[in-house]
Amino acid sequence: AWWWCHPWRAKPTRRAWWWCHPWRATLTRRACVTSSTSLRLGACRLRARGAIAAIALRAEGHAKTCRLLLDAGAPVDCRDRWGQTPLIEAVAAKHLDCVELLLERGADASAMDRGGRRVALAAVDAESDDCLAAVVAGGGADAGDDVAGATRLCAAAAAGDLTLVERLVRAGVAVDAADYDRRTALHLAAAEGRVAVVMKLCEHGADIRFRDRWGHDAIDAASGGGHADLVAQLHLLEKH
């Protein structure tokens, strides 16, 4: 009698009602679908973790482990929160074996991170000629409209950094790429009297008669800077 009147008696009664209710089958199916979705999401998270691990390992130069991750299905062009691909990380860390492995597996040699830096420019920043050569051979020298590369080329030419100028040109930066004033690297090098840089740019086909927004060419820039010898050399190059 005590149990019959006790309020706790309703709990097992409700459980028995739920067990026999037709809605139970529908909700059970929904639970199964939810479980299946969770499994799929878990697999996606596992692949994402594998991609993150691949990026980190390539940055540290573990080529063998990277090969295992690629064989296990890790995407070769996965990206981290900054838009860095494994190839960009490997190039920046100067790990040539990882770079060659990724290019062999079809990594995008012209990929760009969120900051607008391409793989080839990462090799330039790392000062790695071997990685730069591998990226260029893999098709990473097609810069297109590369504003960042053009800005760096103009700055390197003005500073007289011949090594950086050569690397940027090899990386695919257009030799006649201009800044906001339509001044090219040749303009700036001539204005500063950087003879070696001027000669190197002309070897790569820089246009001596390319005019900036004020209508001045490289000869005018050299003349305005008081570099008479350079003006004479540019006149000779123009004739040839």
Q: Which residues pair with 51 in a beta bridge?
A: none
49 has a pLDDT exceeding 50: no
Is the model more confident about 10 or about 184? 184
CA angle 220-221-225, nearest 5°?
115
Average pLDDT value for residue range 29-54: 44
Position 202, amino acid? C
Give the whole-number percent of the chain exceeding pLDDT 70: 72
Cβ contact 158:188 at 8 Å: yes
* C-alpha distances in Å from residue 189, one per residue of 205, 222, 225: 15, 8, 10
Question: 24-33, 52-61, 141-150, 166-175 — which is least confidently predicted?
Answer: 24-33
Is the model more confident about 21 or about 127? 127
Encode pLDDT of 96-122 as tens digits. 999 999 999 999 999 988 888 889 999
The secondary structure of residue 8, as a DSSP letter, is G
